[in-house]
Chain A
Amino acid sequence: MDQMISSLTFSHYFLTGAVLFVLGMIGFITRRNMIVMFLCTEMMFQGVVVTLAAAAAMHGNVTGQTFIIFVLTIAAAEAALALGLVILLFRRRQTLDAGAWSELRG
């Protein structure tokens, strides 16, 4: 048991990434607050990033870690854009409920 806990294997990293991703996904689907939903997408990002880092370490090259830098950059840009959109939407309806925006139905 100690052995298992003390020695981290690659599976642990992958598992952490998957858990982060699935938690983010569940949050995105179940929560209605737009800011929370946005944060959930960020969490999914982190899940992916952890997986990338683990895979890079496993294969022994830095491509995955390089890619993380790009993902973080894009995530930062996307965060700025998405928060701006959220504010815009909030000003329109005075609510953060995503259900308020459902006119685009078929």
Chain B
Amino acid sequence: MSLFDPQIAAYIPWVSGLSAVVCGLLCLYPQFAKLAAGVCASAVGVGFVIALGIWGNVTHAGAAVNPEPLMRWIEVAGLEANYGVYLDGLTMIMLSVVTGIGMLVVIYAAGYMRGDPGYARFFAAVSIFIFAMTTVVMADNLVLLFLGWEGVGLASYLLIGHEYHRPAAVNAAKKAFIVNRIGDFGVLLGMFCIFDVFGTVRFEGFLPAASALLTGDVSGLVGEGLAAYEQATAVLAGGGEWLLLAAPFGLMVGAFGKSAQLPLFVWLPDAMEGPTPVSALIHAATMVTSGVYVIARTMPLFELSPYALPTVAVIAGATAILGASIALAQYDLKRVFAYSTVSQLGYMFMGVAALSSTAGVFHLVSHAFFKALLFLTAGSVMHALAGQLDIRKISGLRHKMPVTFVLMGIGCAALAGLPVLTAGFWSKDLVLATTFDRAIATEGGTAFIYLMVGIVGVVTAFVTGYYCFRVWFRVFFGEERYAMGDHPTHHDGHEGDHGHDDEHGHHANEPHEMDWGMNGPLVVLAIGSVFAGLLLGPTHAVEHLIDGTSAEANALRVGDDATKYEKWVHNLMYGVSAVVAFASLALAFVLHGPWRKVEGDDPVRLRAPKVFGALNSKLWIDEVYGAVVVYPVRVMGSVFYVVDAVIVDTVVRGLGVVPRLLGEGARPAQSGRLHGYGLGMALGVAAVVAATFYAMNRG
């Protein structure tokens, strides 16, 4: 049942690409810049419609749909990387999230960015992002995926540095780009390993081959997959096993860089310097989840390496608890949510590490809804208060901004995972339950790792509930009190734009509710945050989409050793999650609720100033990196500078002296006196004549 031929999916990125060009042209004509939002929104909307239109065709196909490539790109020396799409359940989920959430955020941004001098530029960059991100999720080979991967990095850089006149934004943009280079290098290495083993970078080729290597079942292999399998067995017989062990680690480093996991997470909190819609779309809902997507996509490879997934699990657990703990001591509204994103990404990696792409991707979807909602409501608060983000200076806003109050409450409930009616409850639960499943299904050290990671996940869930309700209570409850921020762009622009508009006339002095053009998308996100869980959780919808694709782990497909306890674990987990969520809500209520005792500060800071201070300073991780990485590099740079200035420059200058000395020697010859020249000429002629004479009479 489908409206469109799946082939049309290949055009989704190009619609956004066209929009990027149009928005870029609109930058040149400021009088038409307002059209940019509409252009961008409709381009993303077209993508969303196409995604929904081909949904039925793809999910009923039974196998991945991989039509003829739209364009040929690279075909050289056995490497084939064309502009083709690879569509299966996983792709469709990602594509719908990217274009759907993208469209809502763009509609919100149309209002949020009003009055910004770089209005058209903003939407051009967002279009580039959608172009690259849809390429990432639809690419049918790793090289094309890498093209999109770099593209989202570029878009992220452009958008973090949108307000390029602020040094903080520029530094954050550079930091994001440089930290991501490390991850990108990992992806390249992983790609090289895969090409070396399988002789192809196409998913159609190496994924079935990897599955066959894993299960030993070659009966289903045809065409490309069979060729890749044969090459791989030859390479493995020739001592190439280490390549297969190394490949997932390369991809993993890339995933950790893009998805802000330890030790490469430091760029994401700083990325909040970008406009809030960007934080919502790129740095919460979509781009940062591409690491999860890559691991889910190449799941058979990760299964082939016995150390890969436990490593992911450890990193994921550590990142989850670290991000959540730092979030609970931040005063900056957006920073809380940024660290929360780091922590929630940890959950997603926990899911894929427990071999369950279903859990990871389900949490990805629900997180996309509620975290985009949280960021955009935070943006609304920031917008209303002229850039004020310090929760110590904001209090009791529920009367001024009733809609935002409710919406952020829904987002917090989903993030905390309040039972039954929120998306976060269902997805986080699935992640934790599958992690414990893995602990039961495996033995020895691996089982211990999964058990510890699961326990850390439960603790993190408690911290998560506490920090998000802390923010919500602080901002919206208690005595009404606020200090306006010093953000110049927004209300300056508004005065110019809406000088005649009464509603906006008092903007600079008093907070106000957003108009429905901005709140509308938030309502959709809120509905998603609530019902996505009920819709996808108990119905196992995500599982049905992932099952049968290459993202479904082979271990779960063949062996069902986990199923004996599965139901039991899951039911227990529901209970534990519910208790944890309510306990965290209760703690936040006591410390920060409407009848809190401490105003304008955090009671935890007063009780345990050292712990709170350490978390507030983000455990000095930036400082440690500064001392361990940045400082040595700077010292090295200084050494190189000295070497350059002393040794290289001296040699080059020394070479330059030689012609000068020669010139000095020849200089007296140019005396300026006619007789001197005459004499020189005569002697020259005499010398030539003498030489000729001598030569002729010699023999």
Contact = CB atoms under 8 A, between A and B. Distances in A.
B699 interface: no
B669 A106 contact: yes
Interface stretch (B184-192, B337-345, B601-609, B670-678): B670-678
B682 interface: yes
B671 A102 contact: yes
Q: Is the interface of B mostly helix, strand, loop or mixed?
A: helix
A14 B666 CA distance: 37
Interface string A20-63: 00000100111010000100000000000000000000000000
A102 B672 contact: yes
Interface string B651-675: 0000000000000001111111111
Interface residues of A, number: 14
Contacts, number: 35
A30 B675 CA distance: 7
B237 interface: no
B629 interface: no
Contacts of A106: 666-672
In this complex, the member of A29, A30, A99 whose beta carbon has the largest number of chain B beta carbons within 10 angstroms is A29
B668 A29 contact: no
A99 B678 CA distance: 13
A105 B673 CA distance: 8
Contact of A29 (B667, B672, B679): B679
Nearest to A25: B682
A101 B669 contact: no
Contacts of A105: 670-673
A79 interface: no
Interface string B568-605: 00000000000000000000000000000000000000
Interface in A50-106: 98-99, 101-106
B682 A29 contact: yes
A102 B673 contact: yes
A37 B675 CA distance: 10
Nearest to B673: A102
A104 B678 contact: no
A106 B672 CA distance: 7
Contacts of B678: 25, 28-29
B679 A99 contact: no
Interface of A: 25, 28-30, 32, 37, 98-99, 101-106
Nearest 4 A/B pairs, CB to CB: A106-B670, A105-B672, A102-B672, A106-B667
Given A98-B675, A99-B675, A104-B670, 5 more contacts: A29-B678, A30-B675, A99-B673, A102-B671, A102-B674
